[in-house]
Structure 1
């Protein structure tokens, strides 16, 4: 009997292949078609998406991607590949990427693992806090692939790690290192990607996970409640989303006497459009225009050693 061959699939949201209108439109079309992301009636949503949203939004978003694009490609993909390579070297087993939208897809990533003789797959969605719109969508993609496999491989699925000690330690260390180099602000704001309030009302546990991450990070950093807080960014459409909103929070903080702000995005495992453009650039403008004096964006964990340590621990614990 052959010995078990273990492999790892690192899953994330994905990114346009190119920072142009056609590339962004193709990516957004796939992303916004997912019922996990937008659960409205297809009869209502599809004409709106294809007739209005994609034609108007794609050129604007393409310009934003162009402003953050790296020489090697999309930041999300660049850092994800570095994570893959470092984790594979640590574990000495096959590690592949699988994006829920765009390429390499979850199907392509799993196929690469199976083609290498992998018989047991450990799947790590790089979303610390669970949400049906993110981690749930990864599981759907994995299940769809396995539906067409005559022999379904043994697999383990890591649902979340929002309170894992090594995750909290890595976040805290990144903040401390930034403070050592650039100085400490008056307040640390944790900005999480938002979800519609209706999703939370219907039972999504994401907000509770975000709140717990903030509490644990505060404890690890020794910050009192008046020195740290959290908000939700990236809302889309007219529907009410999780509050407080990041953009509104940034405008209110100077009125409360917070002039020097540090901001971090704990829900993102790698820097991407939502961190590098929305938070690092737009957020800075909003805060300074509201009367703030200094604004420091603390990068995501990306391929830092402590982040890879955490991934290794999660995989080896399965």
Structure 2
């Protein structure tokens, strides 16, 4: 699980002289913890139920009063949704590793970041999930066991939302609160408008479109949605998504209207950010648009929402209503472009600790 960069043998004990008979002490290290949303351990009912219970019990995710939400969660959702969600996960499950693609890609990102940071002997890289395993607390303890007296937590969300970035930070600091000897701590902020991120997205789009046997009439940037009420209460997520799309559009230099912004994955009876991805794709097909491509700029790694919902369900919607050519542009994942973004953000946020 833990990925260490190579260490100087001389640095494997404490810096400076120790009193005679003092037990060996690991050198002062700096931990980097990559954290993504989460994943169930399996597609059967009980693993899915455990995962959904943890996820949907988070007050940052569902902001309804508990007295109103818990009867719905425990009386309806956790009795019906595990089977449906398990079937969806089964469609994209990494059978070779017996895990979700999100876990596969996040592990690969941790490994490749460790390789890129190998010149900084003090850095130890690890990864965790906000919901499910490996947990944030578990991997923070692993970093501390390696001698990390400073830890940088990196929520892998380009656009900030209380329901994603903030809940990772909540869990990170919650574990710090339980410690007598706390490491120094930092978190990585949103990077929705960072030039390295916009460039990585643009290159990924250009490379993928060049490989297709058709030219899309529209390219849709589909972001995970949030309820409108969250936005009205001050969540900057919608603004961050719009800025990412604007900067990406400027970088690509396409005709106005070719790149479109939509929101997906709505849940429950509330109104969510619009326009909705599925409704937009359906409307385009009905208007006679025959060729489209969809990407997911808000997702660092391909997962259920990109592979099953977009590449699968949304693609079917487009074809059912008259569309002919549909392509899903993969997330940055552990590609060179994607790792350039992660490394850039980590090195920037480690300034002062590494200098």
1:77 and 2:71 correspond: no
Structure-2 residue corresponding to 1:130? 160
2:150 counterpart (116, 120, 132) = 120
1:242 counterpart (242, 259, 273) = 273
1:42 counterpart (54, 66, 71) = 66
Paired with 1:138 and 1:290, the residues of 2 have a C-alpha distance of 39
Structure-2 residue corresponding to 1:12? 36
Structure-2 residue corresponding to 1:87? 113
1:161 and 2:187 correspond: no
Structure 1 range deviating more: 71-80 or 197-206: 71-80
Which has more helix, going by share of residues?
Answer: 1
TM-score norm. by structure 1 comes to 0.97
Structure 1 range deviating more: 306-315 or 272-281: 306-315
Unaligned runs of 5+ residues in structure 2 are 1-13, 16-26, 350-355
TM-score norm. by structure 2 comes to 0.87
The runs of at least 4 consecutive aligned structure 1 residues that moved more than 3 Å come to 1-4
1:185 and 2:209 correspond: no
Structure-1 residue corresponding to 2:77? 53
> What displacement does 1:43 show?
1.3
Q: How does 1:143-292 map to 2 (within 5 A)?
A: 143-182=173-212, 183-292=214-323
Q: How does 1:89-108 map to 2 (within 5 A)?
A: 89-92=115-118, 93-108=123-138
CA contact (8 A) 2:28 2:147 kept: no
> What displacement does 1:305 show?
0.8
Paired with 1:225 and 1:199, the residues of 2 have a C-alpha distance of 29
